[in-house]
Amino acid sequence: MSSAERGSHHQVVAVLLSLVHCVQCMARSQLAPNQFMRKFCIYIPNQTDRLEMPSSVTLSMFVKMANYTILFLFSLIFLSSSHASVQDFCVADLIGPDSPAGYFCKNPAKVTVSDFVYSGLAKAGNTTNIIQAAVTPAFVAQFPGVNGLGLSLARLDLAPGGVIPFHTHPGASEVLIVLRGYITAGFVSSANSVYVKTLKKGDVMVFPQGLLHFQVNAAKIHAKAIVSFSSASPGLQILDFALFANDLPSSLVGKTTFLDPAQIKKLKGVLGGTG
């Protein structure tokens, strides 16, 4: 191999080492690729970085190999970047089935402004029930325009003595803002730490995704709040109903909750459970 070819080899190696170094810098920086590309990552190879190539490798072969390597490195960069949606919206086609990925998109030609407007939260919910409270949802099933947007809403109405029992939203975090009255709200962390606060009008509280939480009317007047979720379908599981509103055998309920049979029978009777 001539000295000119060897010099060209070293130049290409220097470029490759610089690219590898930049990829390593990007990984260490924990920045998104589009953010990282706005910064400069300069690398100057030293003598120990030189790669001696076998004399049987021609310059054209080496350049071709370098091109493939460069293409591979840049493919890694761009494939690892987040892909922004190229679709403005995906109004739910409620005729089709729901899935973990959401509903299918409604034909854009059939989308109207009504799909992006929901008036259901204007009216108070019916609180004449066992919990003396009502939740009026504006989830994707009621508000098709939120499909795919990662958000939804609900209205809480609590009569005096009303309570939203311990429950969890497996698919979303929740933010609550009090519009009227006083609400004692709280959640329990996975470490069993309890966070409780009595909120007044204008106060906001956040409930992290998946954690058990509750809301209780803390005054002798009706309370009202709006909650938002980080999912169009946040999901809901109420602890009391999960234990006592189904046919889970009372013997198993007793063993897992340490409640006596009389208490279990009473709660199952109140909530409609059997077994």
Q: Which two tokens stand for residue 130?
A: 């066992």
Please state, in angstroms and rounded to a whole number, the distance separating the CA atoms of residues 136 and 126: 9
**What is the tens place of the pLDDT at every residue in 139-187?**
999 999 999 999 999 999 999 999 999 999 999 999 999 999 999 999 9
Across 84-100, b (16+ Cβ under 10 Å) vs e yields eeeeebbbbeeeeeeee
177: its two tokens:
């803002």
Banded pLDDT at 27 (limits 50, 70, 90): low
Report the pLDDT averaged over residues 244-261.
92
For residues 28 and 203, which has the higher predicted lDDT (pLDDT)?
203
* CA-CA-CA-CA dihedral for 215, 216, 218, 224, to nearest 10: 60
71-94: per-residue pLDDT in tens? 555 555 555 444 455 789 999 999
In the chain, what are the domain boundaries?
Answer: 3-79, 117-235, 238-275
Q: Cα(106)–Cα(15) distance, rounded to whole angstroms? A: 49
Residue 167 in marked binding region: yes
**CATH fourth-level superfamily of 117-235:** Jelly Rolls (2.60.120.10)
213 is in an annotated binding site: yes
pTM over 0.75: no
> Can you state the angle between helices 3-29 and 59-79, rounded to 10 degrees?
10
Determine the Cα–Cα distance for residues 13 and 16; give it in Å rounded to an integer.
Answer: 5
- Known binding residue 5? Answer is no
More confident residue, 117 or 4: 117
21 among annotated binding-site residues: no
